[in-house]
Structure 1
Amino acid sequence: MSYGDAREKILSAATRLFQLQGYYGTGLNQIIKESGAPKGSLYYHFPGGKEQLAIEAVNEMKEYIRQKITDCLDVSPDPAEGIQAFLKELSCQFSCTEDIEGLPVGLLAAETSLKSESLRKACDEAYKAWSLVFEEKLQLSGYSESHAKEAGIVINAMIEGGILLSLTAKDSTPLLHISSRIPALLKK
């Protein structure tokens, strides 16, 4: 295993575990075991330890989800249809909760925002990046800058809430209900 491979395997395992178990429920030994990387490589690639690893995991999730949102919004010139496509794709992940990947950073944000300023900032930047994608699509569709900005934040907050409800219910229905309300929310 090369150093680059070890780094990617550690980051991939950490990202998945943080998403499923949270920051405090995930130990470094578990990350090493799941990644298959030598323990020394964790500290070589992530000298800041668990916090650095979590920040990089949040950044990975931020980019992954930003791209997913962008891809779905590009499906249609109508922002409501694009947002609905993203919600429908996201809702498909709730058929088997063990296979959930690429979900937003709500668990990490809730656990760490009062204890780690660095992690709080990373989560905040992720939320802002996702809201911005919605905002830009709405502006391209003729919404005013202020309306698009507000709607982007509201949509992102609804999605985060829908994810929490879907996780606790082990059912995608909350996300599908949000999807059905998007056209009414975006009426000019």
Structure 2
Amino acid sequence: MDTKSRIIDIATSLFQQKGYLGVGLNEILKACNISKGSLYHHFPNGKEELLIACLHSLNEAITTHMEEIFQNYPSTQAATQEMIEELIVQYDRDGMITGYTFSSIVSEMGSLSEPVRNACDQSFINIQEIYSNKLVADGFSKETTDSISLMMTASIEGAIMLCLTKKTSDPLKMISQVLPNLLNSYNDKQI
């Protein structure tokens, strides 16, 4: 792995664990075992540019994994349940959910720059698009998929934040039980 990729991987993990504002530049330098000059060589605009690179990397990893799940399951309900089950297993195993959410980073984005906010927004747009495409394939009308995919994103991201604050995977388990019923309810109304 090249130096730039290693910096992005390590910084992403730190940002997810502590948030953007909770991680200092010196902590990143120490964790990466690099000099300040090396960091600025790869990220001339500093920590914010590094954050945007981390968000892009995380977005790519999350959406690639989600697309694989949603392609391998016959319905939105089955794919969503599998995805949530993977999050539950990760939380129960590690006591945290990293590499699959940027909620911990996004929670403080309102105070940061427009480019950072845009990078976060694009990540959520990509996630909602995966849900929406699968819902259309399941026979949902295009008119309802936008609202359903927004509800799914908000529910799952909210459950992840609750897991982290409550120190239990119970919120994801509850969402795993409730979302399929909501999807069935939407689908029944369309028929």
After TM superposition, the score normalised by the length of structure 1 is 0.92
Equivalenced residue count is 184
Deviations along 1:105-125, whole A, 9 cap, x unmatched? 222222122331111111111
Structure 2: distance between partners of 1:173 and 1:34: 32
1:172 Cα offset (Å) = 0.8
Q: Conserved in 2, the CA contact under 8 Å of 1:73 and 1:85?
A: no
Task: State the SS of the aligned residue for 2:107.
Answer: helix
- Aligned equivalent of 2:21: 24
- Aligned ranges 1:98-177 → 2 under 5 Å: 100-177=97-174
Q: Conserved in 2, the CA contact under 8 Å of 1:72 and 1:86?
A: yes
Letter in 2 for 1:11: I
Q: 1:60 aligned to 2:66? A: no
- Aligned equivalent of 2:75: 78
Task: State the SS of the aligned residue for 2:57.
Answer: helix
Structure 1: distance between partners of 2:62 and 2:100: 7
1:79 Cα offset (Å) = 1.1
Deviations along 1:41-66, whole A, 9 cap, x unmatched? 11000011010001111111111111
- Aligned equivalent of 1:87: 84
Give the 4+ runs in structure 1 shifted more than 4 A: none
- Percent identity for Structure 1 against Structure 2: 35
Structure 1: distance between partners of 2:28 and 2:95: 19
Query: Unaligned stretches of 5+ in structure 2?
Result: none
Letter in 1 for 2:46: G
1:149 Cα offset (Å) = 1.5
Q: Does 174-183 or 103-112 show the bigger shift?
A: 103-112
- Aligned equivalent of 1:6: 3
Structure 2: distance between partners of 1:8 and 1:87: 28
Structure 2: distance between partners of 1:21 and 1:81: 33
Q: Conserved in 2, the CA contact under 8 Å of 1:73 and 1:79?
A: yes
Q: Does 102-111 or 18-27 show the bigger shift?
A: 102-111
- Aligned ranges 1:13-52 → 2 under 5 Å: 13-52=10-49
After TM superposition, the score normalised by the length of structure 2 is 0.91
1:78 Cα offset (Å) = 1.3
Letter in 2 for 1:172: S
Q: Does 39-48 or 69-78 show the bigger shift?
A: 69-78
1:75 Cα offset (Å) = 2.4
Structure 2: distance between partners of 1:183 and 1:159: 13
Structure 2: distance between partners of 1:183 and 1:101: 25
Letter in 1 for 2:150: I
* Cα RMSD for the two superposed structures: 1.4
